[in-house]
Amino acid sequence: MEDYLKKEVESRKTFAIISHPDAGKTTITEQLLLFGGAIRQAGTVKGKKTGKFAKSDWMEIEKQRGISVTSSVMQFDYKDKRINILDTPGHEDFSEDTYRTLMAVDSAVMVIDSAKGIEPQTKKLFKVCRMRGIPIFTFINKLDRDGREPLDLLEELEEVLEIDSYPMNWPIGMGKGLLGLYDNYNKTIEIHRPEINGLDGQKVIKLNEAGEIEGDHPIKASSLYSQALDDIELLNEAGNEFSEEKIASGKLTPVFFGSALTNFGVETFLNTFINFAPSPTAHTTTSGEKIEPTTNEFSGFIFKIQANMNPAHRDRIAFVRICSGTFDRGIDVTLARTNKRIKLSNSTQFMAETREVVQHAVAGDIIGLYDTGNFQIGDTIFEGKLNVEYEKLPQFTPEMFMKVNAKNVMKQKSFHKGVQQLVQEGAIQLYKTFHTEDYIIGAVGQLQFEVFQYRMLNEYKSETIMTPMGNKIARWIKPEDLDENMSSSRNLLVRDRFGNPLFLFENQFALRWFADKYPDVELTSLL
């Protein structure tokens, strides 16, 4: 059993794809699924008019806006590996969902638009990866369009993200003049659309030990090829050295160039990625103990809850990252938070277009459990006497707030049910005014409010009235320090969904004024 588990765990590659909007993240996800045989045709964002939507974008609002709003999970086999991809939101106002997803993976693939370079959102996501020290692989996309100079992009990557980079391949030309990729790691040249570039025949040219093409070849006459060779020489002399150790610790990012839309460079990336991306490693518990994935007993944590993935069935799925042992359908587990025993008989796995009942899974896999309200985000479940609780998942202090009411007072029941379920998913945070218990919802970004309103209407048939309160600074106060007279027009006193008191301050000035007036009172925030 031990040898079986070790072999299975080593074959797992569980990673998230992160990027800024429109960098091509969903397109690259689809190409990877295509290589894994999980889908027959890549339904790119380009195909929206034909009704072909990206398989990872399941929510109606995502199809309308062409963005990923929630984190999807897809699994497929490639060569001798079992790949779990977590596709994260790429929009401006991504939610905590993205951060939590990054806690459930062993590595991340960062997709960058070759014309735009590093964008603010990518930087935020990257910081979370750095915080965890997880390996990051960079795919610079859209080479089929004119973009910035590759050397500039590498320089920006290193400066802005404070990470060393190593180009695994290098573009020969760009946009309409894209001839191919010089593969610095595998010592080959990959030809882009050979039939168009007049280089029909070989798609891949092997290089000699000196890294050059032997004999005659039409590409050698191109100035773009000469430029690429000069760049490669410069990088080999002055650039960073390749180091598996540095990749594993998240200090060096291997950089791949390509075009997801024309499916160029994606397969080479995937082949190299599965060689260097880590298999599942140990997870830390609240007591500081590290639980190895090859531990016999099953354990895992819930990093995401999604209601109504199938509106026809009103289902609610808790996504579990398996941290140790094996999952077999029907096993009995203990929920660490309540010490309650639960039988896991209704489980699912995600294979792009379909969801299948999962009978068996191992550490590193992501499974979905049909939930009737037992689970919360961050919960640990374990088998037998393992008795573990994994570290808390990050929760972020909201910056934007809205008052929310049901438009139809006769439909209060569905309104309250919808609010409670969407809050349990963690997309928004719920507060109530101290005495009147009016609902206030908080979020990291504006889009979450739009998604909340849309889902309340479409999934719970509850039309809502949203009244903006603007940006506030939320700070928690210990109940023993609280005097209700501390509240004023500048700092609204509310309770969170667990009943803890906090103030919503108008601005920094109001916060400083409060701190000066009550110097002994400690105010705290989330992350």
- Do residues 498 and 395 lie in contact, with contact meaning Cβ atoms separated by under 8 Å? no
CA nearest neighbour of 362 among 390, 392, 327, 413: 327
CA distance 383 to 320: 14
Query: E-assigned strands of 325-472?
Result: 326-328, 331-335, 340-344, 347-351, 354-357, 360-362, 366-370, 380-382, 400-406, 429-433, 439-443, 464-471
3-state SS track over 453-465: HHHHHHHHCCCEE
- Do residues 320 and 360 lie in contact, with contact meaning Cβ atoms separated by under 8 Å? no
Instruction: Give residue 112's Cα distance to chain centre.
Output: 15
- Do residues 1 and 295 lie in contact, with contact meaning Cβ atoms separated by under 8 Å? no
CA distance 12 to 362: 9
Query: Which residue positions form the known binding site for GTP?
Result: 19-26, 87-91, 141-144
Could you give the C-alpha distances from 166 to 117, 139, 140, 265, in angstroms and in order?
A: 16, 12, 13, 16
Query: Which residue positions form the known binding site?
Result: 19-26, 87-91, 141-144
- Do residues 328 and 358 lie in contact, with contact meaning Cβ atoms separated by under 8 Å? no
CB atoms within 10 A of CB 452: 22
Could you give the C-alpha distances from 405 to 314, 424, 467, 501, in angstroms and in order?
A: 23, 18, 9, 21
CA distance 87 to 97: 11
Fill in the DSSP letter of residue 394.
Answer: P
Q: Kind of pairing, strands 252-257 and 136-141? A: parallel
